[in-house]
Amino acid sequence: MEIRSLTDLRAADSLSLAFNPYGLGGRMTPESAAEFQQRQIADCDLTGAVAAGTRASFERLRTVFAYGVLCYDLYTLVGDQALLIYEQALRERFMEWCDGTITFRINRESDVSFPVMSYSDVTKHAASMRRRGGKLIVATNAVEFNGMLYGLRVWARAAGLVYGRRSRMTEDALAGLRNYVAHPSGHHVDTPVAAARTIRDLAELINQLWGQATPDGRLYPAPLHRDIAVLSWNDAGEARMEPAGALAAPDSAEGEGDEYQHVVVRAVPFVPNSRWNDDHWAEFDTRYETTRFPTDYLWGPGTRDEARAWLKHENPEGDSVDFTDRVFLVQNHGRMFPPRRPAVAAGLPDDERAGVWHALRADFPDDAFVHVRGTEDPSADHARHPGDCRACSVEVLGTGPYDEALRAAAAVLGPIQAVRLPSVRFPASFFWPTRD
């Protein structure tokens, strides 16, 4: 080992200086690099309810990350340690959840409970119960539980502490990386960007385990705000989306005439620099889920004056919506139709119910559509039976005739009230060109 002087240890690592707000290219001063890197994780604060052990481990990560400017290898150490804290957080949250007692069900017989004072007690009883075919009781469910990372992930999902179909895929990736770090078989180097991303993901996961979603989060975003908006289009193929307040000005449509059709909806507004903007707003169709986020039809189509009068009379308000873990129904009858809301599908006339129907849980409608299309390729490994799909971020609820798929949707949603909306859609569509 080379013995370095204190002056050398205090010197900035030239590799760290290469990372700047504009990517790679040019070097930052040590002072600027230190501030820039710390700002990448400065807002990754944990909620006050997080267990003390997890909090201390996480804050230690943030402290060490700042010293990566002096030693580039610290970014790799931080990224690796963050993956190990993933399991620590799950363990500590489990101990709070079980409140000193865990219960297993053995072959549908009477339940067996055990007192647990530490997580080593949990793993001991979990191993014993697995040999006897026992499953952990979580609310009204009995789930596989081995006390290890996999079992903790299954428990967290069953307990409703984490959610989202796409986040499940990220959890799979984090678990795989954690196992690689715990049982290394080679050498790897993390960048400051990758280490910061891992810290941010870890903060989201920890906060979600303790009940706090992350505003504008990547894995577990808080519910999105929806405003009242007006969607408009004309025969020339021009389309626009504007807030309802834009119609309040009497001269807002000056010179427009009646060339535009207007529909009033409740939709996620466009927010600059947000990861959750709806790029598909101009695909709106009351029959299908063709926008990225839930968009509710309220009125229309009609003229601008009629829309203004309706808004003034009804005065609708915005709301918040959780777009994750939505249930969609996809019809395959000669070709695949875009996903539908179960309530809309329940209102279809008899002559539109033919074909094979797929009841799916997904975060986005295109995820559901791509899954169903993938099932036609045997080599794609998309799930065809109920359960999580290994090839994509979708959960299969049921597949079969219309009635069977609707029952599968009702099994997770409860009774479905049929909705019959007027057929309203933008005439031109880029993402969903074939909908008839």
Exposure string of 213-228, with b = 16+ CB inside 10 Å and e = fewer, is bbeebebbbeebebbb
Exposure string of 295-324, with b = 16+ CB inside 10 Å and e = fewer, is bebbbbbbbbeebbebbeeeebebeebebb
> Is 100 among the domain residues?
yes
What does the pLDDT read at residue 383? 86
| Residue 352: DSSP 8-state | G
pLDDT digits (tens, 9 = 90+) for 367-387: 999 999 999 888 888 988 999
- Of 173, 189, 221, which residue constitutes the final position of a domain? 221
Residue type, 177: L
Among candidate residues 166, 168, 163, the one with its CA nearest the CA of residue 150: 168
What does the pLDDT read at residue 436? 65
Q: Same domain, yes or no, for 54 and 193?
A: yes
What's the CA gap between 254 and 64, in Å, rounded? 60
> Is 428 among the domain residues?
no
Q: Is the pLDDT of residue 33 over 50?
A: yes
Strands (E), 127-205: 134-138, 141-143
How far are the Cα atoms of 79, 309, 420 from residue 417, in angstroms, in the given order? Answer: 48, 30, 10
Structural contact between residues 405 and 358, judged by C-beta atoms closer than 8 angstroms = yes
pLDDT digits (tens, 9 = 90+) for 99-132: 999 999 988 778 899 999 999 999 999 999 998 8
Structural contact between residues 171 and 395, judged by C-beta atoms closer than 8 angstroms = no
Q: Which residue has the higher pLDDT, 72 or 4?
A: 72
Q: Same domain, yes or no, for 119 and 200?
A: yes
Parent domain of 121: 10-221
- Name every residue whose Cβ is closer than 8 Å to that of residue 105 and which is 6 or more positions away in sequence: 111, 112, 134, 135, 137, 142
- Of 170, 193, 221, which residue constitutes the final position of a domain? 221
Q: Same domain, yes or no, for 248 and 342?
A: no
Q: Same domain, yes or no, for 143 and 164?
A: yes
Q: Same domain, yes or no, for 313 and 368?
A: no
Confidence of residue 432 (pLDDT cuts 50, 70, 90): confident
Confidence of residue 257 (pLDDT cuts 50, 70, 90): low
> Is 434 among the domain residues?
no
Q: Same domain, yes or no, for 248 and 330?
A: no
Q: Same domain, yes or no, for 35 and 184?
A: yes
Give kind and range of the element (H or E) at residue 59: helix 52-66
Phi and psi, residue 101, nearest 5° = -145, 135
What does the pLDDT read at residue 368? 96
Which 3 state secondary structure label does DSSP give 239? strand
Q: Same domain, yes or no, for 312 and 356?
A: no
Q: Same domain, yes or no, for 87 and 179?
A: yes
Structural contact between residues 127 and 133, judged by C-beta atoms closer than 8 angstroms = no
Q: How many CA atoms lie within 13 A of 80 on its CB side?
A: 14
What does the pLDDT read at residue 258? 61
Q: Same domain, yes or no, for 120 and 235?
A: no
> Is 5 among the domain residues?
no
- Of 221, 249, 271, which residue constitutes the final position of a domain? 221
> Is 387 among the domain residues?
yes
pLDDT, the chain, mean:
91
Q: Same domain, yes or no, for 202 and 268?
A: no
Confidence of residue 431 (pLDDT cuts 50, 70, 90): confident
> Is 186 among the domain residues?
yes
Question: Mean pLDDT throughout 65-86?
Answer: 94
Q: Same domain, yes or no, for 115 and 176?
A: yes
Q: Tokens standing for 410?
A: 């009702």
> Is 54 among the domain residues?
yes
Q: Which residue has the higher pLDDT, 236 or 315?
A: 315
When divided into structural domains, the chain yields a total of 3
The reported pTM is 0.88
Q: Is the pLDDT of residue 76 over 50?
A: yes
> Is 432 among the domain residues?
no
What does the pLDDT read at residue 238? 85
Q: Is the pLDDT of residue 255 over 50?
A: no
